[in-house]
Amino acid sequence: MIDKKQKMMQAAIKLFSEKGYHATSMQEIANDAAVSKGLLYKYFDSKEDLLIDVFKCNHNNMVERAKYINFDTSIPARDKFKKMIKIEFEGILRNKDYFNLLTKSLLLEKNKKIQPFLMQVRAEMMSWHREMLLQVYGDEIKSNIWDAVMALQGMLKEYVGFIIQEEQKLEADQVATIIVENMDGVIDARKGKNSAITDESMQHFHFQPKREILTVHEQLKQVFKHVKGQWIEVTDCKEIIDAIKLFEQEVEKDKPRIFLLKALFSFLNEHASVMNDLEAVGNLLNQLDR
């Protein structure tokens, strides 16, 4: 069941997207979420704070959906790149109101409290896409990396806009394949040439330092945390749900019993093979056992 705070944020995204941030009142958000205005202010001190929480929640969810793929070392870099683009693309399409909010309602927003978060969101996405491209194409593209990042983000934005704003239908897997192939051409065409965007011109962005490398156990916990909700959503079998919950309890321990995790995983793999990302969990579980 969606909790009250999440329900309020969903109402805010919908109304901000439809009416615009400035034209939407806190009372309208409360009405749409079927809560009192007083309860809304109990969770959020102002409309600005509500919008910032919306940013944090949606951006983190969008990024984490794709970032966990990096934990699976069995996937070749190019295939991983395609899969990450596909998941990012699908994540945006699942949250069309949030995309419209970012691209239309807040495009020219100059609010001193909101603008830093818009910059932070943009900086993190650029930094993440930069890492993705370097993993696939190597250090030889460093001199042109920011031009490549802009090309990648431009393609993603236009494909998403075509689907959402023009109400057209495209398959995520096909779009991801085309974007990767197009990036091959971009990278090849720019090799050895001067970059339009330099590191110096990006200094106004505050990029976060690279995160520490996680242990296999920490990676497994993060991946399982990500996929658990999706797995439960696609089954109503009590035995499968119980196995998922038992796996979660065990994997959260400092020293999980690997034999038990493997037994539970074997059960899930046999009885719930339609679930996404079983392979990623299995690969990390094998690494944990080494």
pLDDT in tens, the chain (290 residues): 357 888 999 899 889 888 888 889 999 999 999 999 999 999 999 988 898 888 878 777 766 665 666 666 667 889 889 988 888 888 777 777 777 776 665 555 566 667 777 777 788 888 889 988 998 999 889 999 999 999 999 999 899 888 887 888 888 899 999 999 999 999 999 888 888 998 888 887 766 555 555 677 887 887 777 777 767 766 778 888 888 889 989 989 989 999 999 999 888 888 765 555 677 787 778 877 76
Q: At what angle do helices 172-190 and 145-164 cross, to 10 degrees?
A: 150
Torsion-angle region of 138 (φ positive above 0: left; ψ -120 to 50: alpha; else: beta): left
Q: What is the pLDDT of residue 148?
A: 95
Q: Per the structure block, which two tokens stand in for 236?
A: 């109503």
Cα distance between residue 130 and residue 178, in whole Å: 19
Q: Judge if pTM exceeds 0.75.
A: no
Cα distance between residue 237 and residue 218, in whole Å: 28
Residue 185, Cβ density class (10 Å: 0-12 exposed, 13-18 middle, ≥19 buried): exposed
Q: What is the pLDDT of residue 1?
A: 37
Residues 6+ apart with CB under 8 A from 51: 12, 16, 21, 114
Task: Let me know how long the chain is.
Answer: 290
